[in-house]
């Protein structure tokens, strides 16, 4: 469904991606793991069109979207939930959700809004509140809900568990495993252990390159990965 | 000297028209963090657009007002593309647009032979149109920059000069007036000695109606939400699929149309149109958006009535030469005591 080949991307003179290739097949969950600064967010932002790649191809369904404008990429159904959630704090919870449906032209937005409230009851209770007033966990629910309102074909989640309390992290991964049934997912995580539990296939990024890849269950048992990213089991 | 109820009525309708001007002003600030000082020139051109429609084309006033609003809205988009957008992000289409604009200006000034002048003007306009399309369709700008705060101010002062001299060229520096019989003059009595003329009633009603429409547009429609989303975070807006350039153009259109409406209405009410008429409303408008809290639409609406009252009351009870002095005093007072404004939260484009 998404096929990235030899992607190079940079910030001015600083090269951040040095030939990244990966694939996300339809219906799967693919994890992108790696240390801080490995280039995970840069990869998502380049695919999303916030950054223009220096070279390489990004095929989504049957189009090469490398260098497309971000709003056009989102309109294709390739939707990113960015790092740090990036909710629109000055707008209400409901307005955030409605803007999630910005690219849609069908008449079922109201129905999806009801469904979103059913799935995330906290959002329903606070629908008229300014989104800035939500807690970190609630903001993550809002970010999920907003992305789902667009009826995405492929969801790219950038560190959805970052900065959340352990109990909320559990909840976030539970939601991701539910989302699995509805849409294809590209999951970026520093919490590699959790990511590998949920993913079908995974890529390990290191210094802007893919250092390793394989089915998630294999990587979970790979001694090098365990040492570098998973730490010892408690 | 007139009685207080009469002054309050005058303050009310003048404040309402000022509110239209100021709401558009503050809307652009809320979204882009720039003060569009050419808003006063857009106001003036709005009045003259209606003037052209009524006197040269012989259209009815009811048709001319919306046409003038659309004209002022388009002028405002053009201003953005020429004076502000290149500062944010320069595209190759933007360069073509600039080139066309310069050709157009060359065609419009001076006293050359008529066909040559027309030819150059039309060529310039055509090149501008091509530039517009290229600019709109461009996927990537040549460069994106952090806009220094002073640059848009200088840009818009420059644009003001151009727009005012174009108007002087076209209409002369003297006062132009609408035909006297355009509107009935018999005033309505509110109380025994407080009256409001039909044209003033029109200003008040139309202004309030437009304020309501703007409030619904900003708060209840997807377009309004997108405008506020961009004011909050441009990057997040892009990820949501919002075409930021397009929505910014919509914002400038709304802002310009409101300024144009204010221009027509005040031009009609005083029946005085001059190329420099934007300067005075500019100061009042700037005071209003600062007092109202920069970027707050509801705050601007309320502050406009306050400033309108102050202007009217200082003329009636003190001296007309003090009018701007009191407005200025209010501005300084607010800046000293509460720079975030009396009425609104700052930023966050709220109604
Ligand atoms: N805005 C930026 N400007 C300059 N360098 C950046 C910027 N964002 C990220 N980088 C650099 O690019 C590299 C990859 O960063 P990033 O993609 O954010 O990593 P990750 O998401 O894996 O933590 C890092 O070396 C980082 O310092
Ligand atoms: Mg990151």
For helices B278-291 and B244-270, angle between their N-to-C axes, nearest 10 degrees: 120
Strand partners, A186: A30, A156
Ligand 1 residue neighbourhood (C-beta within 6 Å) = A 11, 14, 16, 34, 36-42
Interval B282-327: pLDDT, tens: 989 999 999 998 888 889 999 999 999 999 998 888 887 788 888 8
* d(CA A158, ligand 2 centre) in Å: 7
B178, containing H or E segment: none
**Cα–Cα distance between B124 and B103 in angstroms, integer?**
5
Q: B261: closest CA among B78, B50, B63?
A: B50
Residues whose CB falls within 8 Å of the CB of residue B234, separated by 6 or more in sequence, listed in order: B244
| Tokens (6 digits) for A154 | 């492929």
Other beta carbons within 10 Å of B97: 24
Q: List the alpha helices (DSSP H) in B33-84.
A: 39-51, 61-79
Look at A222 and B159; give whichever has higher pLDDT.
B159
* d(CA A37, ligand 1 centre) in Å: 5
User: What's phi and psi for B267, nearest 5 deg?
Assistant: -60, -40
**Which pLDDT belongs to residue A234?**
42
Please give the residue of chain B at the shortest CA–CA distance from A44.
B239
**Which amino acid residue places its CA nearest to atom 6 of ligand 1?**
A11
**Which pLDDT belongs to residue A226?**
67
Query: Measured between CB atoms, does A89 come within 8 Å of chain B?
Result: yes
- Most confident of the following: A137-146, A219-228, B182-191, B341-350: A137-146
**Cα–Cα distance between B336 and B130 in angstroms, integer?**
48
Interval B162-215: pLDDT, tens: 899 889 988 988 999 998 888 887 888 888 788 889 999 999 999 999 999 999
**Cα–Cα distance between A2 and A57 in angstroms, integer?**
10
**Which pLDDT belongs to residue A222?**
79
Going from the C-alpha of B122 to that of each of A93, B101, B296, the distances in angstroms are 50, 11, 41
Query: Measured between CB atoms, does A152 come within 8 Å of chain B?
Result: no
**Which pLDDT belongs to residue B143?**
64
pTM: 0.90
Interval B84-138: pLDDT, tens: 988 888 788 888 888 888 888 888 776 666 788 888 888 888 888 888 888 777 6
**Which pLDDT belongs to residue A233?**
46
Q: A4: closest CA among A20, A15, A17?
A: A20
Please give the residue of chain B at the shortest CA–CA distance from A150.
B240
Q: Are strands B89-90 and A209-215 parallel, antiparallel or unpaired?
A: unpaired
Contact B302, B343 (CB under 8 A): yes
3-class DSSP string for B250-313: HHHHHHHHHHHHHHHHHHHHHCCECCCCHHHHHHHHHHHHHHCCCCCHHHHHHHHHHHHHHHHH
Classify B177 as helix, strand or coil: coil
B347 DSSP 8-state letter: S
Q: Does the pLDDT of residue B350 top 50, yes or no?
A: no
| Tokens (6 digits) for B241 | 């699929």
How much is the average pLDDT of A133-156? 95
Tell me whether residues A102 and B226 touch, CB distance under 8 A: yes
* d(CA A49, ligand 1 centre) in Å: 16
**Cα–Cα distance between B273 and B277 in angstroms, integer?**
7
Binned at pLDDT 50, 70 and 90, residue B144 comes out as: low
B57 DSSP 8-state letter: S
**Cα–Cα distance between A139 and A144 in angstroms, integer?**
9
Interval B212-250: pLDDT, tens: 999 999 999 999 999 999 999 999 999 999 999 999 999
For helices B92-108 and B114-137, angle between their N-to-C axes, nearest 10 degrees: 160
Got the DSSP string for chain A?
-EEEEEEEEEETTEEEEEEEEEEE-TT-EEEEE--TTSSHHHHHHHHHTSS--SEEEEEETTEE-TT--HHHHHHTTEEEE-TT----TTSBHHHHHHHHTTT--SS-HHHHHHHHHHH-HHHHHTTTSBGGGS-HHHHHHHHHHHHHTT--SEEEEE-TTTT--HHHHHHHHHHHHHHTTTSEEEEEES-HHHHHHH-SEEEEEETTEEEEEEEHHHHHH-HHHIIIII----
CATH of domain B4-91+141-179+197-349: 1.10.3470
Q: How many CA atoms lie within 13 A of B321 on its CB side?
A: 0
Contact B269, B200 (CB under 8 A): yes
Tell me whether residues A88 and B244 touch, CB distance under 8 A: no
Residues whose CB falls within 8 Å of the CB of residue B322, separated by 6 or more in sequence, listed in order: B314, B315
**Cα–Cα distance between B265 and B206 in angstroms, integer?**
9
Query: Measured between CB atoms, does B30 come within 8 Å of chain A?
Result: no
Domain spans, chain B: 4-91+141-179+197-349
């Amino acid at each position: 469904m998404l096929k990235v080949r030899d992607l190079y991307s940079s910030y001015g003179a600083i090269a951040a991606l040095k030939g990244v290739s990966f694939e996300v097949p339809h219906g799967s969950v693919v994890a992108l793991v790696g240390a801080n600064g490995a280039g995970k967010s840069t990869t998502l932002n380049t695919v999303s069109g916030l950054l223009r790649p220096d070279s390489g191809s990004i095929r989504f369904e049957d189009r090469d979207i490398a260098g497309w404008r971000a709003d056009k990429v989102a309109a294709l159904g390739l939707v990113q939930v960015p790092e740090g959630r990036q909710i629109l704090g000055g707008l209400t919870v409901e307005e955030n959700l409605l803007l999630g449906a910005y690219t849609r032209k069908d008449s079922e937005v109201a129905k999806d809004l009801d469904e979103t409230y059913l799935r995330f009851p906290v959002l329903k209770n606070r629908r008229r509140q300014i989104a800035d007033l939500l807690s970190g966990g609630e903001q993550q629910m809002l970010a999920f809900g907003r992305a789902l309102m667009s009826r995405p074909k492929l969801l790219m989640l950038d560190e959805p568990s970052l900065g959340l309390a352990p109990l909320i992290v559990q909840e976030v991964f539970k939601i991701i495993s539910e989302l699995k049934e509805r849409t294809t997912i590209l999951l970026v995580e520093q919490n590699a252990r959790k990511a590998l539990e949920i993913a079908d296939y995974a890529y390990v990024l290191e210094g802007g390159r893919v250092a390793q890849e394989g089915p998630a269950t294999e990587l979970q048992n790979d001694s090098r990965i365990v040492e570098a990213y998973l730490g010892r089991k408690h | 000297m007139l009685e207080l109820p009469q002054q309050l009525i005058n303050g009310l309708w003048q404040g309402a028209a000022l509110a239209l001007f100021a709401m558009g002003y503050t809307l652009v600030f809320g979204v882009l963090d720039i003060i569009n000082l050419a808003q006063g020139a857009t106001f003036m051109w709005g009045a003259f657009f209606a003037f052209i429609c009524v006197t040269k084309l012989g259209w009815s006033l009811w048709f001319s007002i919306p046409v003038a609003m659309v004209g002022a809205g388009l002028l405002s988009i053009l201003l953005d593309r020429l004076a502000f957008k290149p500062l944010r992000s320069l595209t190759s289409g933007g360069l073509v647009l600039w080139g066309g604009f310069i050709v157009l200006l060359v065609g419009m000034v001076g006293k050359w032979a008529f066909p040559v002048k027309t030819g150059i003007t039309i060529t310039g306009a055509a090149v501008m149109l091509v530039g517009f399309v290229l600019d709109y369709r461009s996927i990537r700008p040549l460069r994106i920059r952090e806009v220094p705060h002073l640059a848009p101010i200088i840009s818009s002062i420059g644009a003001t000069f151009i727009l005012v001299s174009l108007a002087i060229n076209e209409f002369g520096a003297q006062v132009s007036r609408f035909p006297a019989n355009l509107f009935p003059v018999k005033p309505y009595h509110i109380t025994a000695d407080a009256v409001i003329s039909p044209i003033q009633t029109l200003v008040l009603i139309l202004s309030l109606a437009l304020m309501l429409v703007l409030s619904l547009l900003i708060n209840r429609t997807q377009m309004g939400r997108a405008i506020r989303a961009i004011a909050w975070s441009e990057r997040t807006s892009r990820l949501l699929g919002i075409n930021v350039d397009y929505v910014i153009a919509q914002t400038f259109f709304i802002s310009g149309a409101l300024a144009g409406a204010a221009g027509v209405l005040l031009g009609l009410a005083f029946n005085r149109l001059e190329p420099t008429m934007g300067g005075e409303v500019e100061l009042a408008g700037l005071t209003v958006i600062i007092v109202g809290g920069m970027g707050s639409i509801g705050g601007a609406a309320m502050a406009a009535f306050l400033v309108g009252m102050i202007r009217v009351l200082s003329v009636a009870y003190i001296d007309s030469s003090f009018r701007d002095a009191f407005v200025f005093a209010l501005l300084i007072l607010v800046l000293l005591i509460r720079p975030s404004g009396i009425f609104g939260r700052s930023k966050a484009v709220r109604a």
